[in-house]
Amino acid sequence: MHRFRIPWSLFPVFRHSLRHAGTPRAVLVGSSWPAKMAAPAVKAARAWSGLALGLRNAVLRLPGLTQVRWSRYGPEYKDPHIDKEYYRKPLAELTEEENYERELRKTQLIKAAPATKTCSVFEDPVISKFTNMMMKGGNKVLARSLMTQTLEAVKRKQFEKYHAASAEEQATIERNPYTIFHQALKNCEPVIGLVPILRGGHFYQVPVPLGDRRRRFLAMKWMITECREKKHRRMLMPEKLSHELLEAFHNQGPVIKRKHDMHKMAEANRALAHYRWW
Amino acid sequence: TMLKGMTRLISRVHKLDAGHFLHTGSQAPQNLAAHLDNQVPVESPRAVSRTSESDPAKHGEQHEGQHYNIPLQDLKAVFPHGLPPRFVMQVKTFNEACLMVRKPALELLHYLKNTNFAHPAVRYVLYGEKGTGKTLSLCHIIHFCAKQDWLILHIPDAHLWVKNCRNLLQSTYNKQRLDQPLEASIWLKNFKTANERFLSQIKVQEKYVWNKRESTEKGSPLGEVVEQGITRVRNATDAVGIVLKELKRQSSSGIFHLLVAVDGVNALWGRTTLKREDKSPIAPEELALIYNLRKMVKNDWHGGAIVLTLSQTGSVFKPRKAFLPQELLGKEGFDTLDPFIPILVSNYNPKEFESCIQYYLENNWLQHEKAHTEDGKKELLFLSNTNPGQLERLCAYL
């Protein structure tokens, strides 16, 4: 196996010269150290060579923003429709548009569905995202088993409470682990966040409204970090996670405290809000 | 045309009212009609999953698929050890112990009711794939025998005696064999809890000398031997050996019926993971507990029955997919057990599956909104492949 070294001058500079990158580059045979950087270049080059040059580059590229994750699919690939109900509708019941859409999809190219997305009725995107965030080293089996053990632990704890409580309290106790999980994460989401902005050589923590996705991410991230770090060495993750989720469900506990700390910091740095320009 | 046929079948399924949960799948429309007639009416869903008959002696074909309740005090008295850990968790969560009545257990009950105590003890072997319910069937049988006032010799898991044993002592009785004081004392404690009333009735027929100062006279109750084993942990294994020997000798006399129930009997033959100090492996025969248990499982005594369960889950050095008696017992074990009655424990049939889901729904165990729906049930059936163990694990987090 030959080992090739590609000189830096030959690398496509994605940011400014997207126009030049239409032609295929020299294909690597070996796996040398620039291979990791050259491989996406080669892949991108291969993908582009099949398409009209310049078309892909022009679509939705903001100035100064580089695409970090390249997808092998071109823009003509549509997302797959994973929904049993959609396909179960008998042909007679479809409206004009739906019929048209179905016919159109027969000719379009469709991406392969990811392995994690199923048409199972029990699937939950929030749970999947949380499991992915808990995963370490690609060990999805372990992450998923931890998640299921956590849900089971939450359920058993709530059942214990239910059987120990009186009749009036029983109505208030929530036993569905999924509602508890969703509510707990919703309670942990911060409303406002801090962003470091460079002004006059110094970084200032400026309060900034956060988008939906960022808030959900922060809630999950705080929950996982809290459970990983602040537990006894011998305590297992499902036990700790279930405890934290139940506390967050009742608006108590360290994750909620962290959210409040974030809010207080944002309130304290209120004066710097003018540094934000968007 | 296939698509039209499928859509017609699906629309027929949708036309059924909400009560009929059965998964029709690829059945032909004629079978569908027959199935509808045979179905239990759903006006009283309790009738499908539960039965009020809590005496195992009266369980018959009509109770198949239904859960019967075991009172919690009985549970502690009859099963100080021996229930699978997940079942114990379920009992704790639901505050009730319900076992499903299934065909293999009913078959065994029928045989046990018709045992001839003058003939040598018959060996019944429950075998099946992982998670099909062998241990719980064994527990059903033990509950029946306890109700019938038999003496129950229940070894909850023979695999625990051949792996992960910390303290091995050289046996005082026989220099070649090895003692396991911890395991023996734990077993004696549980044996005492399960069979309190017999320990004073049965008298020992020999004098046993423990050491220079202690000995058990001839004619003293068996309870004394058990006490000796529990208090003097060093002699626990020998106490177990004595208990087994005495029970075997006296079961023919007719005072009591003896049920020998061993879970994971394939541990008695095969290999152990234990090693001596010089790292040489130990064969099962060299462990005193195993040696005595093998004598118990031989059918040279009469006045009772022997019910055994094979288990791959806790076994050592056996492939994961093995479940047949020949594979798990090995040549030696199979030859020793040779004339035995094999009873296959298989996955749930649709009625039992339905009953299980109903039971979980009644206890509000299935909290997920979609689990109540048709689609949810079909999915559970598919994911678990009607395997009881898998179904239980799935429903735990749904």
What ranges do the domains of chain B cover? Answer: 61-344, 350-396
Give first-to-last CA distance, chain A, whole Å.
52
Chain-chain contact of B376 with A122 (C-beta, under 8 angstroms): yes
A153 touches chain B (CB under 8 A): no
d(CA A89, CA B7): 9
Chain-chain contact of B367 with A177 (C-beta, under 8 angstroms): yes
From the list A149, A163, A176, the residue facing B367 with the nearest CB is A176
Chain-chain contact of A88 with B10 (C-beta, under 8 angstroms): yes
The pTM of the full predicted model, rounded to 2 decimals, is 0.80
A90 touches chain B (CB under 8 A): yes
A144 touches chain B (CB under 8 A): no
d(CA A41, CA A98): 39
What are the CA-CA distances from residue B207 to residues A112, B226, B239, B278 (Å)?
78, 14, 13, 36
Chain-chain contact of A159 with B93 (C-beta, under 8 angstroms): yes
B9 touches chain A (CB under 8 A): no
Looking at domain A124-275, its CATH class is mainly alpha
Question: Residue B112's pLDDT is what?
Answer: 92
Using an 8 Å CB-CB cutoff, list chain A residues near B373. Answer: 121
A159 touches chain B (CB under 8 A): yes
From the list A84, A90, A122, the residue facing B368 with the nearest CB is A122
Chain-chain contact of B370 with A121 (C-beta, under 8 angstroms): yes
Question: Residue B252's pLDDT is what?
Answer: 84
What are the CA-CA distances from residue B191 to residues A127, A222, B195, B226, B230 (Å)?
46, 50, 6, 9, 11
| CA–CA min distance A128, chain B (Å) | 14
Spans of chain A below 70 pLDDT? 1-68
Render pLDDT for A181-208 as a digit per residue (tens, 0 to 9). Answer: 999 999 999 999 999 999 999 999 999 9
Helices marked H in A50-176 — which ranges? 55-58, 84-88, 96-107, 125-134, 140-164, 167-172
Which residue out of A121, A148, A149 would a mutagenesis test of the B interface target, given it has the greatest number of B Cβ atoms within 10 Å? Answer: A121
Nearest CA in chain B to A156: B93
Using an 8 Å CB-CB cutoff, list chain A residues near B398. Answer: 122
| CA–CA min distance B121, chain A (Å) | 43
Cα B160 from chain centroid (whole Å)? 15
Chain-chain contact of B364 with A175 (C-beta, under 8 angstroms): yes
Using an 8 Å CB-CB cutoff, list chain B residues near A120. Answer: 379
A214 touches chain B (CB under 8 A): no
B398 touches chain A (CB under 8 A): yes
Nearest CA in chain A to B365: A155
Question: Residue B345's pLDDT is what?
Answer: 93
A177 touches chain B (CB under 8 A): yes
B373 dihedral zone (left: phi>0; alpha: psi -120 to 50; beta): beta
Question: For the packed helices B181-194 and B236-251, what is the interaxial angle rounded to 10 degrees?
Answer: 40
d(CA A177, CA A122): 13
Chain-chain contact of B396 with A159 (C-beta, under 8 angstroms): no
From the list A122, A148, A159, the residue facing B379 with the nearest CB is A122
Q: What are phi and psi of B340, to 5 degrees?
A: -135, 165
Which residue out of B367, B375, B377, B391 would a mutagenesis test of the A interface target, given it has the greatest number of A Cβ atoms within 10 Å? Answer: B367
From the list A120, A175, A177, the residue facing B379 with the nearest CB is A120
Which token pair is B379? 């999915």
A34 touches chain B (CB under 8 A): no
**Which stretch of DSSP H or E encloses residue A204?**
strand A202-209
Which token pair is A218? 């922060």
* DSSP β-ladder status, B304-309 and B122-127: parallel
Secondary-structure percent of chain A, ordered helix, strand, coil, rounded to 5: 55, 5, 40
Question: Residue A24's pLDDT is what?
Answer: 40
Spans of chain B below 70 pLDDT? 1-47
Scan residues 174-203 of B and list those with Cβ closer than 8 Å to A.
none
Give residue limits of the domains in chain A: 75-122, 124-275
Cα B351 from chain centroid (whole Å)? 22
d(CA A81, CA A105): 10
CB B222 within 8 A of CB B204: yes
Which residue out of A89, A145, A159 would a mutagenesis test of the B interface target, given it has the greatest number of B Cβ atoms within 10 Å? Answer: A159
* DSSP β-ladder status, B258-263 and B304-309: parallel
